[in-house]
Amino acid sequence: MKVVFAAIFALLLVSCADKAANPNDLSSIPVKAPQWTKQPDINGRFSAAGGAAQSIGGARFQQIEASAKASDSLRVRIEKIAINAAKECLSAFRSKRANDAAIESDARLLSFMIGARSAVQFERVDNWWSPTGDYYALFRLSETALKATIVDMIAQFVAFNESYSANFDMLRGLELIENAAIKAIEAAKQED
């Protein structure tokens, strides 16, 4: 008898889960929704929106969940930009000790560090409650802040890492890093 009740309960959970609205499917938002819920980059080049469905956790839980989704989405985008800039710079400053695998590994580490440092600078620029009770948040990072973070993190990494510091001239190096950051940011704009 317990097995029958457990099976019925499991079926109820599965059938209810299939019918729940997906707030991350931004194309299903009602027409009266703000434009940024469907196209986050409308308010700035480096923006991301996140949504959370109405839940038993309450409004505060929805705000935290939507903010976390938006922040994570933006951080992942920034990491993709940062890895391109990091690879270019690390290749230029490489010594005999830095092979291609080491550069790839170091570039991934740098992109993660840049994403983490950038996340501290994210600002919530807007939010919206849908008529169905879903919550949406928009986060943004300015292009200037992104470029400064990329340049700062790569310069520190190269200056203090033996595999790259021997070939790092401060004036020429900072110029190369800044140009790589600008190039990576512009390439990301073209992809959008």
Fold that domain 33-191 belongs to in CATH:
Thiol Ester Dehydrase; Chain A (3.10.129)
- Digit-coded pLDDT (tens) for 76-98: 999 999 999 999 999 888 876 66
Tell me the HSE value of 163 on the side-chain side, using a 13 A CA sphere.
Answer: 16
Orientation of helix 100-119 relative to helix 59-93, angle to 10°: 140
pTM of the complete model = 0.78
Greatest CA separation for the chain: 77
pLDDT at 33: 82
pLDDT digits (tens, 9 = 90+) for 134-180: 999 999 999 999 999 999 999 999 888 888 887 777 778 889 999 99
Cα 189 to Cα 192: distance, rounded to the nearest angstrom? 5
